[in-house]
Amino acid sequence: MNQRILDPMTTNHANDADRSGDVTISRRHLLTVGAASATAATLPQAATAQATSPSASTTRPVPMAKVSLQVNGAVHTLELDTRTTLLDALREHLQITGPKKGCDHGQCGACTVIVNGRRINSCLSLAVMNEGHNVTTIEGLGKPGALHPMQAAFVKHDGYQCGYCTPGQICSAVAMLGEIQAGIPSHASADLTAAPQATVVEFRERMSGNICRCGAYSNIMEAVAEIAGSKA
């Protein structure tokens, strides 16, 4: 049987089929078949190499560490994966579910807690970084029947709708007023050397990291202003 190798660059595709019965092989077809054969030949070798590779049968141990946290006045000692965030330690290991996991990227503020008097996004802080620190969540601010003044103000001014962001909003607001009292300036402060004023402009700037998808911002500002002794 005669075989002809046709160059697709110079041969008309309409004439590729040989009506006399000869087998016609184009250059494209020959290269495709050759590449497929070469790939098939290497697959068993690659699978064997992967199966016998030490890394394929060896699992790295999970790095663990003992962490002591003081949460809402109670000391808890946990053994955690060192990669565990403070948020996951609170929610998954201590069942303290006030801090919410919203974006998990430090962009929404729903996970805000107070650590040693300063507000932080607990999703961005590792639990091991807070060894021995004093952590306060919304559960530690007040209880039903004995609400924190900021919690009572949120209720009074209807500073929430779905409530998902509310624990972070309240923790952030409490710590934010503490920052103003401590004389810590913000981007809204006109004079960085002067004592910051408890104004709505300051409140809005300082609370801008806490997002409310329901849009209850005006009510939140009213609640914060009441506790700060200002007018919204």
How does pLDDT run across 60-98, given as a tens digit for each residue? 888 999 999 999 999 999 999 999 999 999 999 999 999
Instruction: Pick the range with the lowest mean pLDDT from 12-21, 44-53, 60-69.
Output: 12-21
Which distant-in-sequence residues (6+ apart) come within 8 Å of 18 by Cβ?
4, 24
Rounded Cα gap, residues 34 and 37, in angstroms:
5
**Mean local confidence (pLDDT), 41-47:** 55
Q: Is the pTM of this model over 0.85?
A: no
User: Is pLDDT of 48 > 90?
Assistant: no
- For residue 215, which of 168, 142, 158 has the smallest C-alpha distance? 158
Domain 142-232 listed as CATH 1.10.150.120: yes
The pLDDT of residue 198 is: 93
Domain 63-141 listed as CATH 3.10.20.30: yes
User: Is pLDDT of 17 > 50?
Assistant: no
Q: At what angle do helices 149-156 and 217-228 cross, to 10 degrees?
A: 140
% residues pLDDT > 70 (the chain):
75
User: Is pLDDT of 23 > 90?
Assistant: no
Q: Are 180 and 203 in contact (CB under 8 A)?
A: no
Name the DSSP class of 165.
Answer: S
| Residue-wise pLDDT tens digits, 155-190 | 999 999 999 999 999 999 999 999 999 999 999 998
Q: Which two tokens stand for residue 197?
A: 């004023």
- Domain ranges within the chain, ordered by starting residue: 3-45, 63-141, 142-232
User: Is pLDDT of 14 > 60?
Assistant: no
Q: At what angle do helices 166-181 and 217-228 cross, to 10 degrees?
A: 40
CA dihedral 17, 22, 26, 27 (to 10 degrees): -160
